[in-house]
Each structure stands twice: as structure tokens, then as C-alpha cells.
Amino acid sequence: MSKYRHSRSSTALEQGELSGHNGMKAFLSDHADELRGAIIVDLEAMGAGSLSLIESEGTLRKVSVSSRMKRYVKKAAQATGAHVGSATIPWGEGSGAYAAQQGFQAMHLAGMDGAKPAFFAQKDDTIDVVKPDNLSRNVEFVVEMLKNI
């Protein structure tokens, strides 16, 4: 018997669209049957800012990350030595929050700069702000976390 769990990973890449969540809406609608039991991981600004787990987000219908998702993050942080802070986004919500509102287990990880994701909706939000070392460390963390889900 294999020591590895059998799992499948799907990736949906979405254009940043602030609040419409059209990409996530279409993804969840098109793949609803395949996504039973899925965990949605929303990644934002992974090449800039300080890696943080968004513990609460939303304006009208707030969403909080579950203790199960926090355990996955903590375990990956211990394995990689990454520092993962926590943050809240009370003024908006990411696609992961939308997925959680639809009944999915979800988490939102973001490179934070103060109270917002780094370079969020700014004129200088370009590929030039990505720090390769930061991105590499954060990708290593995410891969380790996905191994344990």
C-alpha cells in the first residue's frame, strides 16, 4: 500500500478583478460535481509583502478561516521554517471567501503590506515588484502545505 494519499489537484488561474468573483463563480459552476470535498486555496501577491493567512474577510457576509485550514498552514510553516502572519480584510473579500460562502473549505494566503495585499490595485502593481526570493520561499511553503492536504 502506498504511503501517499491519492489526491487530485486542480488549478484555476484568475485575473484580479477586485470584487466580481466572475472567474471563481464560473469555476465553481462548471466543476461543481468534481469539487465535492475540495479545498480552495486563494493565493494573492505571493511575490511581494509578508506571507499571511487571511483569518477573516468580507464586508457584509464575513468569512473566517476554519481551524482545519489553520492547522495545514501551521504544519507547513513548521516544516519549511516559514513565518506566516495573520491578517484580516474587513473592507473586501477574495475569491476564496466567495468559495467559502458557497460551502467550500477555503483559505486565502496573501503577501501583505500593512492592511492590504502588497501593491493591491495600485498603479505600480506590475511584474517588476515581484521579489524572486520571496516568491520562491512562498511557493515552497504552498507546495509543502498542499502535500499535507
Which tens digits make up the pLDDT trace of 76-105?
999 999 999 999 999 888 888 989 999 999
Contact (CB, 8 A) for 84 and 95? no
C-alpha 27: how far from chain center: 16
Residue 7 β-bridge partners: none
The grid coordinates listed for 149 are: 492536504
pLDDT at 49: 87
CA distances from 104 to 24, 28, 37, 97, 135 (A): 12, 10, 8, 9, 27
Whole-prediction pTM: 0.85
How do residues 3-40 score in pLDDT, each as one tens digit? 445 455 566 665 555 567 888 888 889 998 888 888 99
